[in-house]
Amino acid sequence: MIAPDDALRQLARAYGVHLGFHDLQGAEHGASPDTLRALLGGMGVDASTEAAVIETLAESQAHRDEAHVPDEIIATAGTRVSLPVSAPCDWMVLDESGAEVMAGRAGNSIDLDPLPVGYFTLHAATPDRRTESLVLSAPQHAPTVPDVTGRAKGWGVCGTLYGLRSGHNGGLGSYADLPAALRALAKCGAQFFGLNPIHALGWAADEMISPYSPTHRGFFSTDHIAPRAGLGPTPKGDLVDYPTFRRRQRAALRAEYARFDATPAPERKAFQVFRAQGGPVLDTFAQFEALSATHGEDFRKWPEALRKPGAEAARAASADVGFHQWLQWRAERQIDTAQAAALDAGMDFGLYLDLAVGARPGGAEVWMHRDTIAQGVSIGAPPDHLNPEGQSWNLAAHAPARLRAAQYKPLRAMLRKLMAKAGILRVDHALGLLRSFWIPDDGSPGGYVSQPFDSLLAVIAIEAAQARCVVVGEDLGLVPDGFREKLNGAGLLSYAVWQYETPGDGQLCPPRDLRPFALACFGTHDTPTIKGFWYGQDIAWWQRMGWLSGGETSARHDLRARQRQGLRAMCDLPPLATPETIAASVQAKLCTAPSALVALQLDDLLGGLEAQNLPGTVDQHPNWRRRNPVTVERLSEALPADRIRAFMPADRSGTDQKGPTQ
């Protein structure tokens, strides 16, 4: 007889719940029984009593014993697969449409002919039982820069969509501003323009401005839709006023939709085609948005009958569903127009989009996918020296076993939608593909949960191959041994932020030491700009927030002085160099890195001092609100195009071919 605690730990291991973890100081934190039960319960696994644990263990073992083949098979497209079977069986492989691809009778093994890239279902049957397996037929690796462009390296610019100024956006950067910005960047030779997530934030989420807290990652933000009549020039202020802008823009969109029946027939027909192609998923999302306008952005506070999709929710939302479908149609058309403009201007990749870690617990994605979402937990980070209690990001998690049972369809749909609009996709917090830290709502300590890493990489590679999209995995932080090698082996580029790449002495490493199979940048939206880094603006903010003592502030300024001295030596900077010279020299040096892609920050090219976001703050810092100093119509004049061309190495448009590390 298994002891109760041993049985609980055995069940936890079976479902990928870690029995403990080591913090940044190396101290071990064992997972308490309360934590194990809460995390298992979040997955829908009953571990509430000793009897339930024993019963669930037995059921899990029985399922494994009865299966002819594994629940999931990862194959390499174009190669044969042989699967041992426990008994002779008849088998058949179906594609995504349900059409038969191959079939046969197995004795000791099922031998599959080479499959193309895609998803298939293997059915195996004996007289007494049937087994169904998902076959992930993945390419050898996701598309690389040489695969897409024929060149070994490339470069581009990253900036913010909300920060774009124009003569017509009325206060917030719009999808219609992108073509002018993309053309201006293309004139400098940039091959992409990277944006923060443009996921749907939610029609009723009036207070939400962070692009990393969406209502649904598979639909697009309506804030950036440009009304046909325009909203006038961007106000002169440096910061976005979201409430004022949203009132004006949403009223304009409502008025435009009210006149839609009078638009030319081809437009109306195009919208009907979009609705038909969107199918039940688009219908359900639009129902959520319509209901949220009446009941609020968090469905957990709605009337009980509306807290899940169904006939009653559809009836309650019916009057406004068409409007919210139309909004998504307008968003997608404007994004597609921007991507077409980028490619026409000569960009190799065009838009570079971002996939956020998760969606808000009360948002549309959770409402629509309750069958795969972990209940009673949120994604966060473990305790560390800055957050001794850990931190919750207030984002929902998909339960691994449930997501696998759904054949990863929610993830597949999100990736497919985003990759259809862009040449590069960045996966935020790529470590979450291996494991994620769940924090129970009941107050129990959090713990790590393993994710189906190989399967998730296969799904990403399949979708990327079908879309010919390069993928970047944001792999910052404490990276477990072997993680980066497997990520790169699947074709996903790493993410190298130069100001974080410091050896033990804190000095920035030479750019030649940055990882080759990576996207390299000096900073991100979460870090200081080059000017801010040079003058210690980030340290000033930390001191202002009370996060540093006097001694810690002094120590950080001393380290920054040494880092500046190192940059002077690496970049041949004189002691009294101007901010413009410093930024240009640092960017030029960064572009000598061996990395497959280099990203310059638009804020740096325009001489910005302040960061777009200060992690750990909400209202204390103007996060997600800073505007560019120039309009997109004058961006070509403001960008130092000649300087960029002068310092961009020739090998960023060469023909040397390099693939992923293995």
Of 34, 66, 98, which residue sits at a domain end? 66
Tokens of 180: 């002018």
Q: Are residues 180 and 271 both part of a single domain?
A: yes
Which amino acid is residue 414, in one-letter code?
M
Q: Are residues 325 and 423 both part of a single domain?
A: yes
Give strand ranges (E) for 185-236: 192-194, 199-200, 216-220
Which amino acid is residue 344, in one-letter code?
D
Q: Are residues 152 and 80 both part of a single domain?
A: no
In the predicted model, what is the mean pLDDT of residues 191-215? 97
Q: Are residues 373 and 404 both part of a single domain?
A: yes
Q: Are residues 133 and 239 both part of a single domain?
A: no
Backbone torsions φ then ψ of 14, nearest 5 degrees: -60, -30
Residue 657 pLDDT > 60, yes or no? Answer: no
CA 81 from centre of chain: 32
Tokens of 552: 């810690």
Band (239; pLDDT cuts 50, 70, 90): very high
Asked if 621 contacts 614 with a C-beta cutoff of 8 angstroms, the reply is: yes
Tokens of 560: 């920054």
Q: Are residues 150 and 112 both part of a single domain?
A: no
Asked if 579 contacts 565 with a C-beta cutoff of 8 angstroms, the reply is: no
In the predicted model, what is the mean pLDDT of residues 523-541? 96
Which amino acid is residue 527, in one-letter code?
T
660 domain residue, yes or no: no
Residue 270 pLDDT > 50, yes or no? Answer: yes
In total, how many domains does the chain have? 3
Tens digits of residue pLDDT in 86-143: 889 999 999 999 999 999 999 999 999 999 999 999 999 988 888 899 999 999 999 9
**Which pLDDT belongs to residue 207?**
93
Query: How far does the chain reach from its first CA to its final CA, in angstroms?
Result: 45
Of 44, 66, 88, which residue sits at a domain end? 66
Cβ neighbors of 67 (< 8 A, separation 6 or more) are: 131
Bridge partners (DSSP) of residue 380 are: 392, 437
Backbone torsions φ then ψ of 295, nearest 5 degrees: -110, -5
In the predicted model, what is the mean pLDDT of residues 4-19? 90
Query: How many angstroms separate the CA atoms of 495 and 500, rounded?
Result: 11
Query: How many angstroms separate the CA atoms of 574 and 563, rounded?
Result: 15
Cβ neighbors of 205 (< 8 A, separation 6 or more) are: 215, 292, 297, 360, 363
**Which pLDDT belongs to residue 165?**
98
219 domain residue, yes or no: yes
Question: Residue 115 belongs to what domain range?
Answer: 72-138
Asked if 463 contacts 416 with a C-beta cutoff of 8 angstroms, the reply is: yes
220 domain residue, yes or no: yes
In the predicted model, what is the mean pLDDT of residues 402-425? 97
Query: How many angstroms separate the CA atoms of 332 and 341, rounded?
Result: 14
Band (436; pLDDT cuts 50, 70, 90): very high
574 domain residue, yes or no: no
Q: Is 140 helix (H, G, I), strand (E, B) or coil?
A: coil
Residue 14 pLDDT > 70, yes or no? Answer: yes
* pTM score over 0.85: yes
Query: How many angstroms separate the CA atoms of 378 and 390, rounded?
Result: 12
Cβ neighbors of 270 (< 8 A, separation 6 or more) are: 329
**Alpha-carbon distance values, 78 to 95, 113, 491, 602, 662 (Å):** 15, 8, 17, 42, 19
Asked if 486 contacts 453 with a C-beta cutoff of 8 angstroms, the reply is: yes
Tens digits of residue pLDDT in 568-602: 999 999 989 999 999 999 999 999 999 999 999 99
**Which pLDDT belongs to residue 90?**
95
Q: Are residues 343 and 262 both part of a single domain?
A: yes
Average pLDDT of the chain?
A: 93
Cβ neighbors of 473 (< 8 A, separation 6 or more) are: 426, 427, 430, 433, 487, 492, 493, 494, 495
Report the percentage of the chain scoring pLDDT > 70: 97
Residue 449 pLDDT > 80, yes or no? Answer: yes
Q: Are residues 219 and 295 both part of a single domain?
A: yes
* CATH number of the domain encompassing residue 85: 2.60.40.1220
270 domain residue, yes or no: yes
Residue 390 pLDDT > 80, yes or no? Answer: no
Angle at CA of residue 358, ends 56 and 31, nearest 5°: 45
Query: How many angstroms separate the CA atoms of 449 and 437, rounded?
Result: 6
Is the torsion defined by CA of 48, 51, 56, 57 positive or negative?
Answer: positive
**Alpha-carbon distance values, 528 to 314, 522, 613, 615, 618 (Å):** 46, 9, 9, 11, 17
Residue 24 pLDDT > 50, yes or no? Answer: yes
Tens digits of residue pLDDT in 320-337: 999 999 999 999 999 999
Q: Are residues 52 and 89 both part of a single domain?
A: no
Residue 223 pLDDT > 50, yes or no? Answer: yes
**Which pLDDT belongs to residue 5?**
79
Query: How many angstroms separate the CA atoms of 310 and 295, rounded?
Result: 16
* CATH number of the domain encompassing residue 641: 3.20.20.80
Q: Are residues 57 and 124 both part of a single domain?
A: no
Q: Are residues 242 and 373 both part of a single domain?
A: yes
Tens digits of residue pLDDT in 46-76: 988 888 888 888 888 777 767 778 889 999 9
**Which pLDDT belongs to residue 218?**
97
600 domain residue, yes or no: no
Tokens of 507: 């000095």
Q: In three state form, how does the secondary structure of 399-415 look? A: CHHHHHHCCCHHHHHHH
Conformation bin of residue 616: beta by default, left when phi > 0, alpha when psi is -120 to 50:
left
Q: Are residues 117 and 165 both part of a single domain?
A: no
620 domain residue, yes or no: no
Provide the Cα torsion 549, 551, 557, 562; round to 10°: -140
**Which pLDDT belongs to residue 655?**
39
Residue 658 pLDDT > 50, yes or no? Answer: no
Strands 494-497 and 118-126: unpaired
Tokens of 577: 């160099």
- Among 373, 488, 467, 375, smallest CA distance to 423 is for 467
Of 66, 88, 116, which residue sits at a domain end? 66
316 domain residue, yes or no: yes
Tens digits of residue pLDDT in 592-634: 999 999 999 999 999 999 999 998 888 899 999 999 999 999 9
